[in-house]
Amino acid sequence: MKAVMASLVAAIVLLFARAITAVRAIWHESGPPRRQSVYFANHASHGDFILVWAVLPPRLRRRVRPVAGADYWLKSGLRSFIGRDVFNAVLIQRVRDERDGDPVTIMAEALDEHSSLIFFPEGTRNQTDLPLLPFKSGLFHLASARPDVDFVPVWIANLNRVMPKGEFVPIPLICTVTFGEPMRLRAGEQKEAFIERAQAALLELSPRQAGNGE
């Protein structure tokens, strides 16, 4: 019964997200990824992973899992149901002293189960005027742990305007989710170089970077 309810809620969320945002995917010239991937994206809203999930083709959507903070998604029964049952999120405890496992190991195990992941390397929502917050080291460590997995940069545009901080009623706006060229950790590449390359790949997808505004 819970599985049926989760499927129904997922369908409702998908329709609602598309109705409010008219979200459209902008794919790299190679088209939607054909391989297992870690989609790493900018993070400005609690709904970011929903838009990435919503624009993926069904064959990819069925296998993708968002990486999310356990301290947020386990705070209530409803959030737990949405995080665990609807989206099958990989829940990571962000409070170090309360962790019962290494976050990179938990994500790597999800990849070993043939899932793809939606990951936010900034680690928290960006509520500044900067296009990106500095990346945490988790992206590098995950790429080191699973070097054969593609890492796909994804830029989410306008969702922070659909649901501004402190507002409870969404403002209908067109959102885009732009997918860049897949990348992998290069042989011998150090953490700083990989993080810098990943940040640059993500920023290249920003409408602001392209001079179109956001």
Residues 143 and 184 sit within 8 Å (Cβ to Cβ): yes
Q: Is 85 exposed, middle or buried (0-12, 13-18, 19+ CB in 10 A)?
A: middle
Plot region of 87 (φ>0 → left; ψ -120 to 50 → alpha; else → beta): alpha
Q: Report pLDDT for 214.
A: 41
First-to-last CA distance in the chain?
A: 42
Round the average pLDDT of the chain to a whole number and report it.
Answer: 89
Residue type, 121: P
Position of tokens 């070993």?
112
Q: Report pLDDT for 171.
A: 62
Q: What is the pLDDT of residues 23-60, one digit of tens each?
A: 999 999 999 999 999 999 999 887 899 999 999 999 99
Which residues lie closer than 8 Å to 48 by C-beta, 6 or more apart? 41, 42, 120, 156, 159
pTM: 0.90
Percent of the chain at pLDDT > 90 equals 70
pLDDT of 136 strictly over 60? yes
pLDDT band at 129 (very low <50, low <70, confident <90, very high): confident
pLDDT band at 212 (very low <50, low <70, confident <90, very high): very low
Domain ranges of the chain: 2-205
Q: Report pLDDT for 198.
A: 98
What are 13's two structure tokens? 């969320």
Architecture of domain 2-205: 3-Layer(aba) Sandwich (3.40)
Average pLDDT over every residue of 136-147: 97
Q: Report pLDDT for 166.
A: 54
What are 50's two structure tokens? 């929903």
Q: Which residues pair with 117 in a beta bridge?
A: 38, 65
Q: What is the pLDDT of residues 148-200, one digit of tens each?
A: 999 999 999 976 665 555 555 566 678 899 999 999 999 999 999 999 999 99
